[in-house]
Structure 1
Amino acid sequence: MVRILALREKFAHMSSVSGYDALYSHFADDILIDSIFCNFKKMHPRGVGRLLETASKFAGTSGFYNASSFEAESKLLLKYLSGKYSLIHYSYGESYYSLLGKIKKKQKTAIAVTHHQPVTWWQAHESSFKKYNNANAVITLSEYDKEYFNSHIPGKAVCIPHGVDVNFYKPLPSAEKTDDDTFRVIFSGRYLRDMETLARVVKKLSASSINIQFDIVYIDKAKVWQPYLIDIMGLPNVVWHADVSEHQLLGLYQHADVCLIPLEDCTANNAILEAMACGLPIVTTDLPATKTYLDSSMAIAGRKENADDLCDALLMLNNNITLKTTMSVNARNKATASFGWDIIANKTLSLFKSLQ
């Protein structure tokens, strides 16, 4: 019997079928999971908040570790000391793994930590690696990240990619698709997105002769402050979406022709996986971590901060229906064959069992 003690977080901006926490609902029924949930943005009463914040600065080694982190990890520690567990899993290591990296742990209880921040973030926080003497395994979300971690903590890092719900995120049956000549491009997400390059792409192609529509899923217009984004909001071929439900987001993916995601950096990317599962070719930035998920059969990658590369890719897909169709099929097949949550959960559970 595998009994897991998990420190988890469900982010408010992610739907019930998105985000890393979906992993836990895909483990086999005979796996027992005790969970401590944390809200990284939780507000505390002033006195308690100051005490927790002071403690977090003593315990933590990164800017992600705060008062809420210390509170949640303290609860985890108490539960760990009072129970018998096969393994402790930190689902977001940057935000929560600290105390158990500094105290002596029970020898029979393994610790696995999943990390989500890119290598560039870790390069600025390399002092954090000291606490991994207590960890048995680090789960990275890309092969590139695994190589970096193993250069600092040899043999402890294993790549298990992020997953996607391929039963929810799926292509629209062809009979239900609208038949018009509008080329629909969807952009979705916030974190580590290259919004300035996105704006340049939208502006350039909006001025071209092609019939193109951009569906931009982002924050509410009233909260946008960047001049280059305000510039494109009023364009007639730009449809701005905020606070969409998971079903609305699914509909936008299903009616799109391609997913455009310019990136500043990444490890895994929810929007890319969701779009792939819906059978969309991906146009994105060429970054080392994306190669775990994408290849040239379903994606076109441009140089960083290069709007012209991304525009050329979109024009190619607009002009070549055969290429777009082939890449669409390949994207869906890659998502179902490699990144469905059942596949990822089985790989994760195999790792957990190997650590007992």
Structure 2
Amino acid sequence: MKDTNSKISPKQTPDLSILTKDTGWYGGHSGFYEQLGKRLKKQPFKGKIFKPKNNLPSKILGRLNNMRFGKPYENDFLSSAQLNFYHKTRNKKNNISCVLNMDDNWQLLKHWKSVPKSLVGVIHIPTSQWAENGQIHTSKWFIREGYEMCHRLKSAIVLWEREIPKIEQLVGPGRVAFVPHGIDTNFFHPGNKPRKKISFLACGQYLRDFDMLQSIFENLQNVYPEVELRIVIPKHFLKIIDLSWAEKNSNVTIISGLSDEELLTEYQLATALLIPFIDSGANNATMEAMACGCPIVSNDIGGIRSYGGGSVYPIGNNSDDLVKIALNLIENSTYTIEMSHKLRSYSLNFDWEKVAPLFYSTVNDLASQ
């Protein structure tokens, strides 16, 4: 991560326009869109924020815009925000524009015959989850139009380094930069109470490998019958994620609707975060756990190595590897305490106060090339 300690003067900053969204289920200290957006609004960046508005005029305008592009199934409120963003930025001089959630906004690029180089898109979702040639992807998380529209971007930011070669094939060599996800390290911090010796935490749902999670936990339970697993997941995802195995296991607790403080306590008390992935980019849960000094048990995939996997903490390739890592955390308390301190120290590199100026300078550099 390059140095971001130098101050950015307001005189150095061109106007910054930002298209973003609120995820809807994060609290006041989580989420890339929410946390970065509110910091870029302040001095010295003074970004102008554009978000979907859930009102009737926006719905009507968005529906008309979607019909214009032959996409009546797209989100009307999002489409209205895209149209507003386009009209407010297209003729603005000394302006750089950034879409914090490009994965949701590929349709925006259709407004231009040639997308301006001053527009930078942030890509969060691995290309493994993009639909190819208009076909429906087998994953429930698939993204439409990624391959079709990404080549129209002049530059992009990704939140993990492994994806750069794939995105460069679409955007162009040297046109894709890595900027890390940030963490609110003031809020997410280690607790004063000792960690539970044998209680694991699983957090979130996006691209999680729940089959591997089940396998790991049941193997741990064969060795330590008293081991616990606490699964934190937004309530509305319980309808699409099959957790019947967890519901039948008396050692597993499924939790929804936590406050920020309750989530913090979960990170502070867990033996470790048990979080195998199907694929991944940056991940809120791993970063928040890290800031709380909570050891992480995960597999070597996606963006894990961009955030300490394999260097700061061990990672595995399969269920057996992750069971061994988890058992070592249970059985070696000295190692677990050392790992906790190491993770907390490493997490400070990703504090939002460091990431926000780095993000701005990277957008500015890409838009100026």
Shared fold per TM-score greater than 0.5: yes
What residue identity is the alignment partner of 1:343? Answer: K
Per the alignment, residue 194 of structure 2 pairs with 177
Deviation at 1:251, TM superposition (A): 0.7
Larger deviation, residues 144-153 vs 214-223: 214-223
Are the aligned partners of 1:182 and 1:211 in contact in 2 as well (CA < 8 Å)? no
Distance 1:349 1:81 in 2: 20
* Secondary structure of 2:152's aligned partner: helix
Do the aligned partners of 2:305 and 2:311 also contact (CA within 8 Å) in 1? no
User: Residue 353 of structure 2 aligns with which residue?
Assistant: 342
CA displacement at 1:155 relative to structure 2: 1.5
The structural deviation recorded for 1:169 is 0.7
With 286-295 and 155-164 compared, the bigger mean Cα shift is at 286-295
Gaps of 5+ in 2: 1-10, 133-145
The answer as to 2:193 corresponding to 1:193 is no
Structure 1 CA distance for aligned equivalents of residues 57 and 223 of structure 2: 52
Classify the secondary structure of the residue corresponding to 1:272. Answer: helix
TM-score (norm 2): 0.82
Instruction: Specify the SS of the correspondent of 2:103.
Output: helix
Which residue of the other structure, out of 92, 100, 116, is the alignment partner of 2:101? 92
Q: Closer, same or farther in 2 for the Cα pair 1:151/1:48, shift >3 Å? A: closer
Aligned residue number for residue 16 of structure 2: 4
> Whole-Å Cα distance in 2 between the matches of residues 190 and 208 of structure 1?
26
Matched to 1:213, the amino acid is: E
Counterparts of 1:212 and 1:275 in 2: how far apart (Å)?
Answer: 19
CA distance in 2, matches of 1:274, 1:14: 12
> What amino acid maps onto 2:321 in structure 1?
D
Tell me how far 1:43 sits from its aligned partner.
8.8
Say whether 1:212 aligns with 2:246: no
Once the two structures are superposed, residues 28-58 of structure 1 have per-residue CA deviations (whole angstroms, 9 ceiling, x without a partner) of 513221111127x999999766534323446
Are 1:237 and 2:251 counterparts?
yes
Q: Shift of residue 329 of structure 1?
A: 1.4
Alignment of 1:110-149 (within 5 A): 110-122=118-130, 124=132, 125-132=146-153, 135=154, 137-149=155-167
Cα RMSD (Å) of the superposition? 2.9
The answer on whether the counterparts of 1:298 and 1:328 sit within 8 Å (CA) in structure 2 is no
Determine what percentage of the aligned residue pairs are the same residue. 24
Contact 2:19–2:98 under 8 Å retained in 1: yes
The number of aligned residues is 339
The amino acid across from 2:313 in the alignment is A
* Equivalent residue in structure 1 for 2:310, among 296, 321, 330: 296
Describe the shift of the 1:16–1:226 C-alpha distance in structure 2 as closer, same or farther (beyond 3 A).
closer
For 1:16, the equivalent position in structure 2 comes to 28
Contact kept, 8 Å, 1:284 with 1:299, in 2: the verdict is: no
Unaligned runs of 5+ in 1: none
- Quickly say closer, same or farther: Cα 1:245–1:185, change in 2 above 3 A: same
Structure with the bigger percentage of strand: 1
Runs (4+) of structure 1 moved beyond 6 Å? 41-49
Deviations along 1:236-275, whole A, 9 cap, x unmatched? 3222211111111011001112111011111111101010
TM-score (norm 1): 0.85
